[in-house]
Chain A
C-alpha cells in the first residue's frame, strides 16, 4: 500500500531551508552569542534527518550525494590545519589571529581564525551524526 506523504514532503521542502539558514546563523553568531560549530552542526544534521523522515534513504542519497565519512575527515583536517598554521610562524600551537577585511557585499568584516576551526567542528558534527543515522537506518 502506498501512503500519501504530500503534506509532510511539501512542508519539508520549505522547512529544510529555514532550519539550514538558522544553522548557518547559529554558526556565525557563535563568537558573540550562544551558538557555534557544535550546535550549528547538530541543527544542520537535524535538517537532513527531516529530509530522511519525509523521503527515504535512497532519495536523500541522490539529493545529497555525500560520503559523510569523508566530510568528517575534511572537518578534522580543517580544524587541524587552522590550529597547526601557528607552527609555521613559530608561535605556540592553537594561537589564533584576527583582522578586518573589506569584503565585497559584506563591507568591513572582522575575521578570526577561530571561525575556521569552528567550520571543522561543524563538518565533523554533521559527518558523525549523519554516519550514525545512515548506518542504523540502512540495512545493507
Chain B
C-alpha cells in the first residue's frame, strides 16, 4: 500500500463529497461523518505505525520522478499532527451533535468540516511548496464557510475581517513563492532545500525567509500579525471555535517550523534570532490579553497566542532539546486547547453568558465539569504529571543549554500568567455563591460532557504516558534537525 500516506487526506475529501448529496437528512449526515472520521483515524494510526517502523514515507504523485511531480511526505512530525487533528475533529463533531443546532447542520456544516480537514491534513503532509498553498486555500475556504455559517450579525462582521486578512496573506504567499521560484527554479521542498544549501548565504534568501515568516505569521498569529485573531475567533459558535483554535493557527506554526528547519538553515544568525525575538514578544502580547479580559472566550483565545510564542521559541533555538520540547508542546497544545474550548463551551451553555463576573458557584451543581476543568487548566499551565509539563521543561532546558538564560526564565514566568488566567475562570465561575443559571436538561449536559471528558482524559494520558511518546517525538526531531534525512527520503538515491 504505497498510497497509505494519502488516506488521511483522501478519506475526508471523499466523505465531504458524499455528504453534499443529502444536506437535509441530519441523521444520515451525522452517521456518515462519524464513519468518515473513524476511517480516517484508523488509516492515520496505521500510517503512524508504518512511519515509526520504516522511517519517512514519501510518494510522488502520478509516478513522476521526484522534483517534477508533487511529492507527498509523511514524516513523524506531520503524521503526529494529522493524528491529533483527526482526534480533535472527532470529538468536536461528537460535541456538535448536541450543540450546533439543526439549522446549521442542514446548511453543509459537516461537509465544511470534512473539507477543512482535507486542507489541514494536506498542508501537514505535502512536500511541495505550491501544493501547500493550495491546501492552505482549501482549509481557509472551508473556514470562511464555517465562520459565517448561521449568519448572525457578529459572524458577518468578523468574517469580513477574517477573509480580508487571509486574502492579503494568501496573495503574499503566492508572491513569496514566486520570489523563491525565481531564485531556485523548483517548487519541491526537498529540492529547494538542496538548492538553497548550494547557494549558501545570500541576501535575497534571507529576505524570502522573512517574507515567509510574515505570511505564515499571519496564519499562525505571531506578534504584530495576530490582530485579527481575537475578534474573528470569538464570533462563530463553540464547536467551530474549538476547531479553529486547536488546528488553524497550528498549521501556520507547522509551516514556519518546516520552512525554517528545511529551507533557511544557512543564515541562522539573522532569521532564527528574529524568530526568537518575535516569539518572546508574542508571549508578552498573549499574556497581556489573557489577563486583561473578563470574557472566558477571550482568555482562552489569548492563550493560543501565548502557546504559539512558546512553540516557536523552542523551534528557533535549533538544538535537540528545544526542538523536542517544541514537538511535545505543539501536540499538547492542540489537544489541551480543544479540551478547554469544549469545557468553557459547556460553562457558557449553562450560564448563558461569557462574562466571568456574571457567573458563580457552578461547583455545587456540576462537580464533574469543575474538576475536569481544573485538570485541563493545570495541564495547560504545565503542572508536572500533566501534559504541558515535559514540553515546556525541554524548551527551557534547550534555551539554557544554548545560553538564552533570560528568555528561558521568561518562558517559565509566562506559565504563571497562563495559570493565573485560567484559574481566574475557575475561581469566578465555579467558586462563590450560585448565580442565576439557565436550565439545561441533564441529558444535554451529559451529551456535551462525554466528548469533553474523553478529550481531557486523552490529554492526561499524553502527560502521564510521555515516556511512551518520547520515541515518536525523537523521530520527529531527527528529521527537523537534519534536512538530509528528509531530502534523502524524497529522492531515495536519485540524486
| Residue in B2, B3, B20, B62 whose CB lies within 8 Å of A73 | B20
Residue of A nearest to B20 (CB): A73
- Determine whether A8 belongs to the interface, using a CB cutoff of 8 Å to chain B: no
Q: Which residues from chain A contact B17 at a C-beta distance below 8 Å?
A: 73, 76-77, 80
Q: Which residues from chain A contact B14 at a C-beta distance below 8 Å?
A: 77, 80
- Determine whether A69 belongs to the interface, using a CB cutoff of 8 Å to chain B: yes
A126 to B168 alpha-carbon distance, docked (Å): 28
- Contact between B2 and A90, CB atoms less than 8 A apart: yes
**B: number of interface residues (CB 8 Å):** 18
Interfacial residues of chain B within 1-54, with CB under 8 A of chain A in the complex:
1-3, 6, 10, 13-14, 16-18, 20-21, 23
| Residue in B1, B20, B21, B62 whose CB lies within 8 Å of A94 | B62
Knowing A87-B3, A92-B3, A93-B6 touch, does A76 contact B62 (C-beta < 8 A)?
no
Q: Which residues from chain A contact B13 at a C-beta distance below 8 Å?
A: 76, 80
A-B contact pairs, 15 of them (CB 8 A): A73-B21, A76-B17, A77-B14, A77-B18, A80-B14, A80-B17, A90-B1, A90-B3, A92-B2, A92-B59, A92-B62, A92-B63, A93-B10, A95-B62, A95-B63
- Determine whether B61 belongs to the interface, using a CB cutoff of 8 Å to chain A: yes
Q: A38: shortest Cβ distance to chain B, in Å? A: 15
With most chain A CB atoms within 10 A of its CB, the pick from B16, B23, B61 is B61
Contact with B along A88-111 (1 / 0, CB 8 A): 001111111000000000000000
Knowing A90-B2, A91-B63, A92-B2 touch, does A80 contact B10 (C-beta < 8 A)?
yes
- Contact between B21 and A70, CB atoms less than 8 A apart: yes
Knowing A80-B13, A80-B14, A84-B10 touch, does A93 contact B20 (C-beta < 8 A)?
no
- Determine whether B466 belongs to the interface, using a CB cutoff of 8 Å to chain A: no
Residue of A nearest to B59 (CB): A92
A73 to B18 alpha-carbon distance, docked (Å): 7
Interfacial residues of chain A within 68-89, with CB under 8 A of chain B in the complex:
69-70, 72-73, 76-77, 80, 84, 86-87
- Determine whether B372 belongs to the interface, using a CB cutoff of 8 Å to chain A: no
Q: Which residues from chain A contact B21 at a C-beta distance below 8 Å?
A: 70, 73
Interfacial residues of chain A within 41-73, with CB under 8 A of chain B in the complex:
69-70, 72-73
Knowing A84-B10, A92-B59, A92-B60 touch, does A76 contact B20 (C-beta < 8 A)?
yes
Interface residues on A, range: 10 to 19
Q: A108: shortest Cβ distance to chain B, in Å? A: 26
A96 to B20 alpha-carbon distance, docked (Å): 27
Residue of A nearest to B5 (CB): A93
Q: Which residues from chain B contact A87 at a C-beta distance below 8 Å?
A: 3
Q: Which residues from chain A contact B61 at a C-beta distance below 8 Å?
A: 92-95
Residue of B nearest to A76 (CB): B17
Q: B131: shortest Cβ distance to chain A, in Å? A: 12
- Please name 10 further chain A to chain B contacts, defined as beta carbons within 8 Å, in addition to the given A92-B63, A93-B6, sorted by A numbering: A69-B20, A70-B21, A72-B20, A73-B17, A76-B13, A76-B16, A77-B18, A90-B1, A92-B2, A94-B62
Q: A114: shortest Cβ distance to chain B, in Å? A: 10
A93 to B8 alpha-carbon distance, docked (Å): 13
- Contact between A93 and B1, CB atoms less than 8 A apart: no
A69 to B17 alpha-carbon distance, docked (Å): 10
Q: A89: shortest Cβ distance to chain B, in Å? A: 10
Q: Which residues from chain B contact A95 at a C-beta distance below 8 Å?
A: 61-63
Q: Which residues from chain B contact A73 at a C-beta distance below 8 Å?
A: 17-18, 20-21
A91 to B62 alpha-carbon distance, docked (Å): 8
Q: A134: shortest Cβ distance to chain B, in Å? A: 15
A96 to B23 alpha-carbon distance, docked (Å): 33
Q: Which residues from chain B contact A84 at a C-beta distance below 8 Å?
A: 10
Interfacial residues of chain B within 58-105, with CB under 8 A of chain A in the complex:
59-63
Q: Which residues from chain A contact B23 at a C-beta distance below 8 Å?
A: 69
A72 to B3 alpha-carbon distance, docked (Å): 26
Q: Which residues from chain A contact B1 at a C-beta distance below 8 Å?
A: 90
| Residue in B2, B20, B62, B63 whose CB lies within 8 Å of A70 | B20
Q: Which residues from chain A contact B16 at a C-beta distance below 8 Å?
A: 76
Residue of A nearest to B16 (CB): A76
